[in-house]
Amino acid sequence: MRDDDYLRVEAHDCPMTSCAAPAGSPCRTGRGKVAVQYHTARFRLVPALAKALAVATPPVRKPGMAWIELPRPAAAGAEPAGHVRIGYARASTVRQSLDTQLDALKAAGVTRVFSEKISTRATTRPELDKAVGLVRELRSAGVAVTLVVHEHKRLGRGLDLAALAEQLRAAGIGLEFLTGELQGSHDPSGVVFTVLAALSGMEREYIRDRTLEGHESARSRGKSIGGAPVVDEAMLSMALHLREQNLSLRDIAARLVITTGKRRGRHPSAATVLRMFRDHDASIGAAGR
């Protein structure tokens, strides 16, 4: 690093909305002071500093003093901003490892990675929102930026994936997948990308339909689906006795105890008691026909 690095950093506006220091001025803190070091998103706009861990604000900028806007230099923005690559990694469960994705993103030259362990079905994914927010900030500052993901399924499926891709396209943000069906750089508005994204969404429906077909086939052969049943003959007999006393479903459930399985020693839910009564009454009705 050179003594005049700060001049190259300050050739650009700070892209962070919490700072937004104009060209020629140092970064500022949330309390309106001159920052001790420049914000990462700003000094990485300088290609030579893209891999630096930090770039300090020089004494001439008096770190810690009250921040005031310095005159904008005439040659501001003369140096090319370069190309920033922001990564996103996601695993569906806490037991899944992110190491493969993180290693691939690092090897692809990604400068910053947002990662989280959360289901695809989650309506809100905080780290993805942060990644998209940052790339939008960088792009609005005139920086060429690409969102890099290990595989398209990490972003989402079907319409969710297509909607996100369209947002990135509208903002002029590049999108790249390192592996999978959509490997490579894609124009989100292209026909091929749209078709493959739709096929990705169809994959979940296909798996769901096959699973339901398997369940139905198993039931037709007399096999039970799901976990171990919590209702036994003793519980049913006690529940019927309590029903004759005109107790509510909740009170009946509170007096019953599960004797088998993982929930052994706990009380069944009122919904379980209601289902038990319905099944019993239906079997009695069928036997009387």
Determine how β-strand 174-177 pairs with β-strand 112-117. unpaired
Give the pLDDT of residue 76: 40
Give the pLDDT of residue 173: 85
Neighbours of 25 (CB within 10 A): 21
| CA neighbor of 104 nearest in space, from 93, 88, 82, 119 | 88
Do 53 and 157 share a domain, yes or no?
Answer: no
Do 124 and 188 share a domain, yes or no?
Answer: yes
- Give the distance, in angstroms, between the CA of residue 254 and the centroid of all CA atoms in the same chain: 39
Do 67 and 44 share a domain, yes or no?
Answer: yes
92 in active site: yes
- The answer to whether position 64 is within a domain reads yes
Do 184 and 241 share a domain, yes or no?
Answer: no
Give the pLDDT of residue 116: 95
Taking a C-beta distance cutoff of 8 angstroms, is the pair 158, 198 a contact?
Answer: yes
| CA neighbor of 135 nearest in space, from 83, 186, 78 | 83
Question: DSSP assignment of 172-221, as one string?
Answer: T-EEEESSSTT-EEE-TTSHHHHHHHHHHHHHHHHHHHHHHHHHHHHHHT
DSSP H or E stretch at residue 7 = helix 5-9
Catalytic residue among 18, 92, 119, 140: 92
Which of 9, 42, 76 finishes a domain?
76
- The answer to whether position 207 is within a domain reads no
- The answer to whether position 215 is within a domain reads no
Taking a C-beta distance cutoff of 8 angstroms, is the pair 114, 128 a contact?
Answer: yes
- The answer to whether position 211 is within a domain reads no
Using DSSP, state whether 135 is helix, strand or coil.
helix
Please list the pLDDT of the chain residue by residue as tens digits (289 residues). 566 788 889 888 898 888 888 888 899 998 889 999 999 989 988 888 888 888 999 887 888 888 877 766 544 444 434 678 899 999 988 888 999 999 999 999 887 899 999 987 787 899 999 999 888 877 876 778 889 999 988 987 766 777 787 778 778 788 899 998 778 887 656 665 566 556 555 555 656 667 777 767 766 776 655 555 677 888 888 899 899 888 899 999 999 988 877 788 889 898 889 988 988 888 887 766 6
Do 65 and 4 share a domain, yes or no?
Answer: yes
Please, is 224 exposed, middle or buried when counting C-beta atoms within 10 Å of its C-beta (0-12, 13-18, 19+)? exposed
Taking a C-beta distance cutoff of 8 angstroms, is the pair 194, 141 a contact?
Answer: no
Query: What global pTM score does this model have?
Result: 0.46
Which of 17, 50, 76 finishes a domain?
76
What CATH number should be reported for the domain holding residue 157? 3.40.50.1390
Do 99 and 173 share a domain, yes or no?
Answer: yes
Do 116 and 165 share a domain, yes or no?
Answer: yes
- The answer to whether position 15 is within a domain reads yes
How many independent structural domains does the chain possess? Answer: 3
- The answer to whether position 206 is within a domain reads no
Angle at 202 between CA 198 and CA 203, to 5 degrees: 120
Instruction: Supply φ then ψ for residue 65, to 5 degrees.
Output: -80, 165
Q: Summarize pLDDT for 139-161 with one digit per residue, the tens.
A: 876 778 889 999 988 987 766 77
What are the distances in angstroms from CA 141 to CA 12, 81, 107, 273?
8, 9, 26, 61
Which of 176, 200, 224 finishes a domain?
200
The residues near 165 (Cβ < 8 Å, ≥ 6 apart) are 175, 186, 188, 193, 197
Do 43 and 105 share a domain, yes or no?
Answer: no
Do 109 and 196 share a domain, yes or no?
Answer: yes
Cα–Cα dist 283/280, whole Å: 5
Give the pLDDT of residue 165: 78
Do 90 and 64 share a domain, yes or no?
Answer: no
Domain coverage including residue 275: 233-287
- The answer to whether position 276 is within a domain reads yes
- The answer to whether position 16 is within a domain reads yes
Determine how β-strand 184-186 pairs with β-strand 174-177. antiparallel
Do 144 and 248 share a domain, yes or no?
Answer: no
Do 87 and 16 share a domain, yes or no?
Answer: no
Tokens coding 130: 């942060």
